[in-house]
Amino acid sequence: MRKTAAPGAHALGALLLAAGAAIAAGLVLGTLLNAASEEGAPVPAGTGKAAAGLATKYPNDVGLAKDPDVIFADDFESWEGNTPLAGRWNNVSSEGTGRALIVPGAVTATGPGKSILELACWQEPQKSTSAGLSKHLGNYDNANEGLGEGYEEVYIRYYQKFDPGYTPGVQNHGSLLGGRDLTRSDSRWVGMADTTDVASQGYYSACLQPYGGGQSRQPFHWGFYSYHCDKPGRWGDYFKPIKMATIDLDRWYCLEWHLKLNSAEPLKADAVEELWVDGELSIRKDDLRYRKVPQLKITFISLGTYYHPGLPEKYTAENPIKVYYDNLVIARKPIGPVAGSR
């Protein structure tokens, strides 16, 4: 298993492969061990539906990217071919057995926009495969990036669709969020796995990914795979949904992911991680510890797919397994689905 990642500016594909190599042996075990975890805190009255967010002020998201509470946004309309504008993303993984492409499409027939992100991967015997994008939300590689310390709390909204040819049940890790303690020279990279005590390794990470489907006893649905300080074992923690949001292929879903880090001075277990699917609360945990020191912030995000060895042979470079993204927004406040006629 890969235990460390190369320092400096590393490619997203290498990061995902390093993370996945360690995760591979533990995904099924971790899921089974943690499927019996407590449900998230009961949903307070009136919170099953997401509150009105920033998007309500900007029909079809027009002007939303310039809102003072928005940290970053990408509707994938301004890319030059398959290359983002300079400074927008830190890494784009489009090599080996995976690629990131901008293709024609929209969440609905009326938009917004005419382009979407496609992450495509294909099988190679006994090898993992990945594709995706990553961005630093604060200093991440080193303390001299000039990006600031990062954030205590973020909301991330994007639309996601699984291609009609997707196979539910394949082991697929998804988008990552996390940070590193740059006061240490040995802090691990976000996404690194096989760690019982993340605090001792100077990092934390959370992943939003599909679970179940195929031969699993569970339906195809979204869940978190989180490396927090109190997780029970070597692998990421799965939080049982309050309301399981099942996934249909070839259908767009609006996902909004909220992460608020816990208090560090004094240390409390009050971090919050939540997921809304199409405006409905699906997962909520509010008793977590993602850090023990205040300098550990939210400084990294990726949109990605990672598949363990064993992807079905039908997935070739000419016929890859595909997942689509659109209308990404990262903000300090709740965002909500795209407003307007959709």
**Farthest CA pair distance, the chain:** 54
pLDDT above 90 as % of the chain: 71
Q: Is the pLDDT of residue 42 over 50?
A: no
Q: Is the pLDDT of residue 254 over 90?
A: yes
Confidence of residue 172 (pLDDT cuts 50, 70, 90): confident
Confidence of residue 184 (pLDDT cuts 50, 70, 90): very high
Report pLDDT digits (tens) over 89-145: 999 986 688 999 999 999 987 779 999 999 999 998 888 899 999 999 999 999 999
CA pair distance 209, 149, nearest whole angstrom: 27
Q: Is the pLDDT of residue 75 over 90?
A: yes
Q: Is the pLDDT of residue 59 over 70?
A: yes
How far is CA 7 from each of CA 45, 141, 185, 301, rounded to the nearest angstrom? Answer: 47, 7, 10, 18
What confidence score (pLDDT) does residue 171 get? 75
* Domain spans of the chain, in order of start: 12-331
Phi, psi of 99 (to 5 degrees): -150, 150
| Arithmetic mean of pLDDT, 203-213 | 94
The chain-wide mean pLDDT, for the chain, equals: 85
Which of the two residues, 217 and 49, has the higher pLDDT score? 217
Fold of the domain spanning 12-331: Jelly Rolls (2.60.120)
CA pair distance 192, 1, nearest whole angstrom: 11
Burial 320-337 (b: 16+ CB within 10 A, else e): bbbbbbbbbbbbbebbbb
Four-point Cα dihedral 192, 183, 132, 153, nearest 10: 100
CA pair distance 324, 121, nearest whole angstrom: 12
Among 78, 86, 66, residue whose Cα is nearest residue 114: 78
Q: Is the pLDDT of residue 55 over 60?
A: yes
